[in-house]
Amino acid sequence: MLDYVQVWSPDTCGCIVHQAGDQDAADTSRVMRYVTYEEAVEIHVRHFWARPESTNYKVWWSMPRKSKSGRLKSPKRIIALVQPHPRLCPAHLALGYTGEMYETVRELNTRKNIACYLAWVIGNDISEEDQLWVRLGSTKPILIAGRVTTEQAERQASLSRVFPPGAVQWVVEQPSGAVWLEYLRDWLPQEQADAIQGRCDREFGPGRVVVV
């Protein structure tokens, strides 16, 4: 297994962290794990020796040929310069660069994504059969009316009878970390807004997602 590293930043805060995963695994099955900056540099170095053309070692590749031969003996110093540095937002600064921080940030981002999806499903009165129909659609890129899309995306768009997924507005309340789904009670029937709140309470626990 040959690892590669990437930086990841969630929608829900300003943190920037490193992840590592199997380069040769399919995108749908690749499991990404948290690594520190120091670990990311070491992985980047190993990846460079194994597959130099596939790294983002741009400083080295832009050097004149004579300079490359000397720098190739010790690429770690240059990789340490070009590897992006992580960053912690004020809300997660106290956790430090730890696995706990990563799991906290990832859970918050996942909770937001699921809550917005549930709001879209309930707000548009989408059945389980509808959701299965969407998932069975092909993810192969196709061209429709001059734009690239997929059958799955087109099926999902057709179910947006009231509003599309992107219309769900949200904000994270700190320091509690609660996800607020905003304005839904302003234009959805009270019964549907309550149904979204009830489903989120069952999914995440009371107070973790708030429909306002």
| Domain range annotation of the chain | 3-87, 107-124+163-212, 126-160
Q: Which of 187, 197, 180, 181 is nearest to 122 (CA)?
A: 197
- pLDDT at 81 exceeding the cut of 80: no
- pLDDT tens, residue by residue, 149-205: 999 999 999 999 899 988 999 999 999 999 999 999 998 999 999 999 999 999 999
Q: What is the pLDDT of residue 189?
A: 94
Q: What is the pLDDT of residue 83?
A: 83
- C-alpha 112/C-alpha 210 separation (Å) is 11
Q: What is the pLDDT of residue 138?
A: 94
CA dihedral 141, 142, 145, 148 (to 10 degrees): 10
Cα separation values, 187 from 143, 171, 191, 193, Å: 34, 18, 11, 9
- pLDDT tens, residue by residue, 136-149: 999 999 998 889 99
pLDDT band at 68 (very low <50, low <70, confident <90, very high): very low
For 107-124+163-212, CATH number?
3.30.70
Instruction: Report residue 202 as tokens.
Output: 């069952």
- C-alpha 95/C-alpha 157 separation (Å) is 39
Given the structure tokens 């969630």, which residue do they identify?
A: 10
- C-alpha 146/C-alpha 181 separation (Å) is 34
- pLDDT at 30 exceeding the cut of 90: no
